Amino acid sequence: MSDVAHAHDDHGHHAHPTGIMRWLTTTNHKDIGTLYLFFALIMLFAAGSMALLIRAELFQPGLQLMHPDFFNQLTTMHGLIMIFGVIMPAFSGFANWQVPLMLGAPDMAFPRMNNWAFWVLPVAGLMLMSSFLLPGGAVAGGWTMYPPLFIQGGISYDLTILAVHIMGLSSIMGSINIITTILNMRAPGLTLMKMPLFCWTWLITAYLLIATMPVLAGAVTMLLTDRNFGTHFFNAAGGGDPVMFQHIFWFFAHPEVYILILPAFGIVSQVIPTFARKPLFGYASMVYATASIAILSFIVWAHHMFTVGMPAAAQLFFMFSTMLIAVPTGVKVFNWVATMWKGSMTFETPMLFAIAFVCLFTIGGFSGLVLAIAPVDIQLHDTYYVVAHFHYVLVSGALFAIFAGIYYWMPKWTGHMYDETLGKWHFWLSVIGMNIVFFPMHFLGLAGMPRRIPDYALQFTEFNQIATYGAFIFGFSQLIFLAVVLKSIKGGAKAPARVWEGAEGLEWTVPSPAPYHTFETAPVVK
């Protein structure tokens, strides 16, 4: 019976379903993780192409390439797809691959539900993308779906609401699976405070998702009934309150911002100690800081809507509560820097992306603090300063952490080392391109250029042209990333079980590539 007891040692010798049916019917966490990651990659190129079209139009003042309504469709779909189709699925891919491996669990707690959670996503993605082909085109009211625009649009608005529902369902199923897996399937001896920080951040992220998804589902359903069934929840003409939609939406969407960044914190907290060859500084404080950020995320929503008008006391409350988030976030940044301090550092591609994350995410955090100041926000609201802020958080924050994680764990997934030279080219072009796109947007915003417009005043031309050059550098450098991934899947130097010298954790005890089934017998953690 030793073959049952040590099933994770004899990989590759047992057949499993092959072909398309393997991917459609799979309940294996590694297969589903791969599906999530490829889905996110495809959507990244789709939504990234939309971003390049937007930047091409903004290269010069005046209308060059497209009708303004199509421009609005592109900005809306770019936002929706990047958030729900790229960042969230990519992190779900990491969770599927890594959480069971890190916990010493054979799979997720509910593998069949895991399969459903993934396979509803492409349906939603297809619905979103196909809305471009419908009469009137895709949704153009912004990813925030504010009424009255969202109540007045065509059939694609109903389709988008349905797609958002489906993506929410996928998130809920995924989150319940992750919470139950992390809490119930840890290896003997792996207490909560011994868990890798990536598991902690995902546990808290899943909690946030479960807590907030009903609010989004309710909000979009009320939009749907306003559109089709004669209700007036948000229709001012019928006595409804469109501003209330903003409150409901941001009650969901501010925690959603942390849903998009907490797993990134987890990835960076795995990568930095590995390449600094030191344990993570202040593990417990990292856990408490993550939990604090999650709790605070529920009481700051109205900082997105200072301009709608609210009592001074409310403005003060939301201003100070927002600023309070800088404290646990500062703890995290301090701990990452302290982990690197006097470490035996090496600078492989995952570490480069992690360091860029720490530096650039901090810039995004600081511009967030600026926007938290109510009187300043009233000046900067809906300007390019806001666009610069959230792209520093979501591109150099979430996306760079995703790149760091992929370079870090790809040898474990594929069994091959990636091409380090190409990886470094990808890093430097991305980091330079990203800063060229988004840093000038701070100046554009401070000078008063509004967001979501295809045309602008002449004085904004130079910074817009610089941003467009940067966008194309950043966009096309992602083709290098694609080449690195495909090359690593196809072949390359054989990766050992412990890919990185300083790597710690159960996932590095299994061979590379990780066998189809791992930890069928629980390892004991001391």
Does 183 interact with other proteins (rule: CB under 8 A)? yes
Does 107 interact with other proteins (rule: CB under 8 A)? yes
Does 106 interact with other proteins (rule: CB under 8 A)? yes
- Closest CB to other proteins among residues 50, 294: 294
- Closest CB to other proteins among residues 179, 394: 179
Of 172, 444, 484, 485, the residue at the interface with other proteins (CB under 8 A) is 172
- Closest CB to other proteins among residues 23, 443: 23
In this structure, the number of other CB atoms found within 10 A of the CB of residue 225 comes to 14
User: Phi and psi at residue 243, in whole multiples of 5°?
Assistant: -70, -30
Type of residue numbered 77: M
Does 133 interact with other proteins (rule: CB under 8 A)? no
| Least Å from the CB of residue 76 to other proteins | 23
Does 402 interact with other proteins (rule: CB under 8 A)? no
Type of residue numbered 321: S
Does 251 interact with other proteins (rule: CB under 8 A)? yes
Does 12 interact with other proteins (rule: CB under 8 A)? no
- Closest CB to other proteins among residues 31, 57: 31
Would you give the distance in Å from CA 20 to the centre of its chain? 28
CA 128 to CA 124: how far, in whole Å?
6
User: Phi and psi at residue 275, in whole multiples of 5°?
Assistant: -90, -10
Residues 282-311 binding other proteins (CB under 8 A) are 298
Does 207 interact with other proteins (rule: CB under 8 A)? yes
Piece of the chain touching other proteins by CB under 8 A; list 147-155, 450-458, 470-478, 513-521: 513-521
Type of residue numbered 509: T
What is the total count of residues that contact other proteins (CB under 8 A)? 59
Does 465 interact with other proteins (rule: CB under 8 A)? no
CA 21 to CA 25: how far, in whole Å?
6
CA 82 to CA 77: how far, in whole Å?
8
Of 49, 69, 112, 308, the residue at the interface with other proteins (CB under 8 A) is 112
- Closest CB to other proteins among residues 218, 330: 218
Contact status, residue 377 vs residue 445, Cβ threshold 8 Å: no
Q: Which helix (H) or strand (E) holds 459?
A: none
Type of residue numbered 454: P
Query: What's the Cα-to-Cα distance from 83 to each of 107, 466, 506, rounded to whole Å?
Result: 27, 25, 31
Does 253 interact with other proteins (rule: CB under 8 A)? no
Piece of the chain touching other proteins by CB under 8 A; list 207-215, 318-326, 355-363, 496-504: 207-215
| Least Å from the CB of residue 106 to other proteins | 5
Does 180 interact with other proteins (rule: CB under 8 A)? yes
Dihedral (C-alpha) 261, 264, 266, 269: value to the nearest 10 degrees?
-120
| Least Å from the CB of residue 183 to other proteins | 4
Does 215 interact with other proteins (rule: CB under 8 A)? yes
Of 60, 221, 465, 509, the residue at the interface with other proteins (CB under 8 A) is 221
Angle between helices 461-490 and 420-446 (to 10 degrees): 160
Of 74, 77, 108, 503, the residue at the interface with other proteins (CB under 8 A) is 108
What residues act catalytically? 78, 107, 143, 170-171, 254, 256, 258, 269, 303-304, 329, 332, 451
Does 473 interact with other proteins (rule: CB under 8 A)? no
Does 144 interact with other proteins (rule: CB under 8 A)? no
Piece of the chain touching other proteins by CB under 8 A; list 10-18, 69-77, 399-407, 409-417: 10-18
| Least Å from the CB of residue 416 to other proteins | 24
From the number of C-beta atoms within 10 Å of its C-beta (0-12, 13-18, 19+), residue 150 rates as buried
Piece of the chain touching other proteins by CB under 8 A; list 147-155, 172-180, 399-407, 447-455: 172-180
Does 509 interact with other proteins (rule: CB under 8 A)? no
- Closest CB to other proteins among residues 209, 386: 209
CA 391 to CA 439: how far, in whole Å?
10
Angle between helices 326-340 and 349-372 (to 10 degrees): 150
CA 165 to CA 154: how far, in whole Å?
18
Provide the 3-class DSSP secondary structure of residue 20.
Answer: helix
DSSP for 142-200 reads TTTT-TTHHHHS-HHHHHHHHHHHHHHHHHHHHHHHHHHHHHH-PPTT--GGGS-HHHH
Answer positive or negative: Cα dihedral of 496, 500, 504, 506: negative
Closest CA to 126 of 157, 93, 153, 159: 159
Of 46, 248, 340, 449, the residue at the interface with other proteins (CB under 8 A) is 248
Does 521 interact with other proteins (rule: CB under 8 A)? yes
CA 396 to CA 268: how far, in whole Å?
12
Summarize as ranges the residues that interact with other proteins (CB under 8 A). Answer: 1-5, 7, 14-17, 22, 25, 27, 29, 105-112, 172-173, 176-177, 179-180, 183-188, 190, 192, 207, 210-215, 217-219, 221-222, 225, 233, 244, 248, 251, 298, 516-517, 520-522
